[in-house]
């Protein structure tokens, strides 16, 4: 049974797309939510208002999770406005930024992508862990790109998401004595703003056609997996990355 009653969850990037659906799923199962956003307060407020209208508790908190001072403020605001401790951390934040091949990349672009996807995970976990209860749970977001190298111009992104795989496993070992479980989800082609922005419609159609289930995934499907991994229903799953791609790729 998935039950987050009395628990506090922090969802980075929790205001839209998969992050929004994760926030909804955790709230639906009883969690009080800190919904982090970067630059779109309208999305964050809509997410929070929906949770509150359906009987949940949530607070929108702005922070750039690539900056240590912002991350610290995010954690402090969570403790102040949502609850005195943190039980669940879902780190959704990440992105491709742009498709660039090696000859098109400079050091600044590489650093931007690695900071957004990998450094942010380090900063958030480091800030949250002193306030996470023993027996808590963390769910990270990697990608199918971490396994297969990604599509054209996604080397930096795929590298960062590969780092998340290793970070998840190492952290799971380190936090085992505190009974804090650390897992990851690895989405394939999911119908989100990410692919609306970076993937051509004909490519999406082709990938969907190659997928055994014959379609793209949807954000609520990913959110349901995240809720399971974060919950006591997954109490002996630790250091794992679960592929969610309709069967187009097997790790």
The Cα–Cα gap between 80 and 141 comes to 26
Say which of 24, 157, 167, 228 is annotated catalytic. 157
C-alpha closest to that of 231 among 21, 31, 17: 31
Beta strands in 106-180 (DSSP E): 132-141
User: Does the active-site annotation cover 157?
Assistant: yes
C-alpha closest to that of 175 among 124, 137, 215: 137
Residue 34 φ/ψ, nearest 5 degrees: -105, 115
User: Which residue matches tokens 């190298």?
Assistant: 149
Q: Are 249 and 222 in contact (CB under 8 A)?
A: no
Sign (positive or negative) of CA dihedral 199, 203, 207, 208: positive
User: Which residue matches tokens 């400079």?
Assistant: 106
Structural tokens at position 72: 């610290």
Left (φ > 0), alpha (ψ -120 to 50) or beta: where does 196 sit? Answer: alpha
Structural tokens at position 91: 């780190």
| Residues acting as catalytic residues | 157
């Amino acid at each position: 049974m998935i039950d987050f009653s009395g628990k506090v969850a922090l969802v980075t990037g929790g205001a839209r797309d998969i992050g929004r659906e994760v926030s909804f799923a955790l709230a639906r199962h009883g969690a009080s939510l800190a919904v982090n956003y970067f630059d779109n307060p309208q999305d964050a407020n809509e997410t929070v208002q929906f949770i509150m209208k359906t009987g949940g508790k949530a607070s929108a908190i702005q922070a750039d999770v690539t900056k240590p001072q912002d991350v610290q403020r995010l954690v402090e605001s969570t403790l102040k406005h949502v609850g005195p401790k943190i039980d669940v951390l879902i780190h959704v934040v990440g992105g491709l930024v742009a498709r660039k091949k090696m000859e098109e990349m400079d050091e600044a672009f590489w650093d931007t992508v690695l900071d957004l996807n990998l450094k942010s995970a380090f900063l958030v976990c480091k800030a949250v862990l002193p306030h996470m209860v023993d027996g808590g749970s963390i769910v990270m977001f990697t990608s199918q790109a971490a396994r297969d190298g990604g599509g054209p111009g996604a080397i930096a992104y795929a590298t960062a998401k590969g780092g998340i795989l290793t970070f998840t496993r190492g952290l799971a070992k380190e936090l085992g004595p505190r009974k804090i479980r650390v897992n990851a989800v690895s989405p394939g082609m999911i119908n989100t703003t990410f692919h609306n922005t970076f993937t051509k419609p004909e490519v999406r159609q082709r990938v969907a056609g190659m997928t055994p289930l014959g379609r793209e995934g949807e954000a609520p499907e990913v959110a349901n997996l995240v809720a399971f991994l974060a919950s006591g229903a997954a109490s002996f799953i630790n250091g794992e990355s679960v592929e969610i791609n309709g069967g187009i790729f097997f790790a």
